[in-house]
Amino acid sequence: MTSKNIFHLLANISLITLIILLVAWEWFLAPYKVGGSLLVLKVVPLFFPLRGILKGDVYTMQWSSMFILFYFTEGVVRATGDAEFLSRVVAAVEISLCVIFFMSTVLYVRPYKQLAKAEKKAQQEKTS
């Protein structure tokens, strides 16, 4: 298994796990309101990059690595601000999953970016 495949697998697992965690968090683990809350809808935007991430689309990997930082920020805020212990623990897991996703997408895209940069440099030298 190549490092590219490992990073792709990590991105897939961390994103799917994050979706499941966020639904469980707001539905029954430690919801903002007893009985669940509409905050469960915060998971909906994570479905937009899911197909591209599963396919290994480089463009989707790039923009979703920045997009995931919203969830990282939410995790930090809730880990430091929520009163309930379970909610703080789940927020810490959310932070960890976001970091894993971010790092795996950046490392997955890195060889493509290096190749594009080398091709651009070669093209510039060819035209000069």
| pTM over 0.85, yes/no | yes
Give 47-87 pLDDT, tens digit per residue: 999 999 999 999 999 999 999 999 999 999 999 998 899 99
Q: In which domain, by residue range, is 53 found? A: 3-127
Chain CA centroid to CA 46, Å: 8
d(CA 94, CA 17): 9
Give 24-42 pLDDT, tens digit per residue: 998 888 877 776 777 888 9
Tell me which amino acid residue 25 is.
Answer: W
**Domain total in the chain:** 1
CA angle 45, 92, 58 (to 5 degrees): 40
